Amino acid sequence: MKKFTAHNTLWLLISILPLMLLIGSGVINTSIVIIDLVFIYIVFKQKKIDFNDKLILYVFIFFWLSLIINLLFSLNFNNSFLRVFGIIRFAILALAIKFVLEEFSQKIIKKIFLIWSIIFCTVSLDLVFELIFGFDSLGNHSYMPGRLSGFLGKELKIGNWYLGFGLMVVSFVYCSFKKNYLFYSILIITILISFTIGERANFIKYFLITSVFFALYEKKKFFEKNFFTYARNYNIIGDFVL
């Protein structure tokens, strides 16, 4: 029962991680620490470490020790300690997400991406609301003209959040639904919203990465379409089978 509970706790916390990132630094840090602790419990309690995981663990320990040595010779111990602790907790978070994607069932993974998509769509609608009315659904508004703040309020960092989870949602739509019109619609809408946020650097990153993704998608379709047309015309597939 504990094993089941630990696994459920891990994937549920990871599934609401995008929401936690919108609430505040205290909630973010607490959530990440809990995810790290649950992940460490599962890995060591259930002995989920194979040779490859041990190799990663050894590299991580070596990296952590190098940070500790650097900390001992630091002029400002408090600032250096916070940086070292921050790097460690985010590194463990990355390993926890990797563990879930590799060890959990496809059903659970789809649930995680579905929850991420719902949160992402909610944020997108909120940004559109702010664009139209000048304030978002919670009454937040940007103090800088031409910028949207969304649920983050005075912290004008929603573009960075939108960049990260937008790419994941686009990928989820592409892998799950296989419908061209839905994929194109989501792609275009997210690019437009990213532009209206007003964070130039994040918009350029999002536009470039989604453009590459779109180009690869179209190239795959072009190859498949032309290959099967050629095969049908010259009966290559039939000759091969016979």
- 242 burial (CB, 10 Å; 0-12 / 13-18 / 19+) is exposed
Whether the pLDDT of residue 234 is over 70: the answer is: no
pTM above 0.85, yes or no: no
Whether the pLDDT of residue 79 is over 50: the answer is: yes
169: tokens are: 């949602």
The string of DSSP letters for 122-140 reads: HHHHHHHHHHHHSS-TTS-
What DSSP element (H or E) covers 47? none
Length of the chain: 242
16: tokens are: 């609401």
19-23, 156-160, 172-176: range with lowest mean pLDDT: 172-176
SS3 for 162? helix
Distances (CA, A) of 98 to 25, 56, 71, 72, 133: 23, 12, 28, 31, 40
Placement of tokens 């099967």 in the chain: 228
- pLDDT recorded at residue 35: 93
**Domain definitions of the chain by residue range:** 1-104, 105-242
- pLDDT recorded at residue 13: 94
Number of neighbours of residue 43 by Cβ within 10 angstroms: 18
Task: Give the mean pLDDT of the chain.
Answer: 79
* 184-215 residue pLDDT tens: 888 899 999 999 999 999 999 999 988 887 77
Q: How many percent of the chain have pLDDT more than 90?
A: 37
Most confident of 20-34, 112-126, 149-163, 168-182: 112-126
- Mean per-residue pLDDT, 1-6: 60
- pLDDT recorded at residue 60: 64
Residue 225 binned pLDDT confidence (cut-offs 50, 70, 90): very low
Distances (CA, A) of 203 to 84, 131, 141, 163: 30, 16, 20, 8
Whether the pLDDT of residue 93 is over 50: the answer is: yes
- pLDDT recorded at residue 242: 40
7-16, 29-38, 161-170, 172-181: range with lowest mean pLDDT: 172-181
* 111-167 residue pLDDT tens: 999 999 999 999 999 999 999 999 999 998 888 888 999 999 888 889 999 998 998
